[in-house]
Amino acid sequence: MPSPIRIAIPPGLSPDQFDGRSRAGKITDVGGPTMGTSWSARIVDAPPECEAAIQSVFARVIAQMSNWEAHSDISRFNRLSLGEWMTLPAEMMAVLRAGLAMARLSDGAFDPAVGNWVSRWGFGPGMGTAGPSSPPWQTIEVEGPRARRLADVALDFSGIAKGYAVDAAATALDAQGAKHYLLEVGGELTGRGVKPDMQPWWTDTESPPDLAVPTLRIALCGLSVATSGDYRRFRIEDGRRLSHSIDPATGAPIANDVAAVTVLHESAMLADAWATAITVLGSDRGMTLAARHGIAARLILRTASRTREYMTPALAAMLD
């Protein structure tokens, strides 16, 4: 029996989304590999240089923020001596500041400096270390365009960089004159405008493949969506499912039965970060925090007896 479908329509959907649209428009599909995953875009009346503009964005993000590239800016920063300052590229600094702000807001559930723990548990480059006694994010100091480490921690933007890449690529498309498109990086999406048939970019959010949960179908117009789940990157060890999501409070993979979290936000970067924070905090604390800040989110809890679904009021208000 197919899962029921829930339709989510953003309250801000306005006639402006239809600006300049006609039924004669043509959709161009482009895509390829990037950032250890894949990307795709569907662009109505695509400007000639749009694919090159997107690729340029991804190349910058990798050069600045990939822990898997030994000569990236983030890798060089993580090798600095403790207390040594480094002037960061503007985009990397913007992501770092956003990550630190999210760390403060979530009381450290989102932490952009857990790279050593990510590696220690086999989900990143290198072997990793035990880490500091204080929350890693609190050992990163930022002053103007530069930053430094005050303890043996490593920046890791895996919970925010893909979202930033989506936002930055969307900005590049806007600059090229594209008004109607759907853009995706590794399952994180943003949508602008509408399709030639005047329909929005309908998108079904990801769900754990082994769980029967209602399909969430979103009219992705002026909105982004990100999903964090224990089914994406994990391994089984001694009968336990070890998620790639690290709980900064323990320095170990989360152990709260959260199977998936989906967040809708105007910013793909913030949707990405919020999905990570809610995943770490769990169904009670995570969804309470999201509701308090007006975040549209859904959480799927995997239990031995049944699957549970939670939604914040902001998401429930979008359901048709």
Q: Which residues pair with 38 in a beta bridge?
A: 33
Give, in degrees to the nearest 5, the angle at Cα 40 between 169 and 261. Answer: 85
Q: Is 227 annotated as a binding residue?
A: no
Q: Which residue has the tokens 């590229």?
A: 89
User: Which amino acid does the sequence have at 82?
Assistant: L
Residue 123, both tokens: 């989900």
Residue 282 marked ligand-binding: no
Rounded distance, CA 43 to CA 81, Å? 45
Answer for the pair 131, 152: CB distance below 8 angstroms, yes or no.
yes
- d(CA 223, CA 13) in angstroms, rounded, equals 9
Q: Is 31 annotated among the ligand-binding residues?
A: no
Q: In angstroms, rounded to a whole number, what is the distance separating the alpha carbons of residues 2 and 168?
A: 36
Half-sphere exposure of 196 (CA within 13 A, CB side): 11
Known binding positions for Mg(2+): 159, 272, 276
Known binding positions: 159, 272, 276
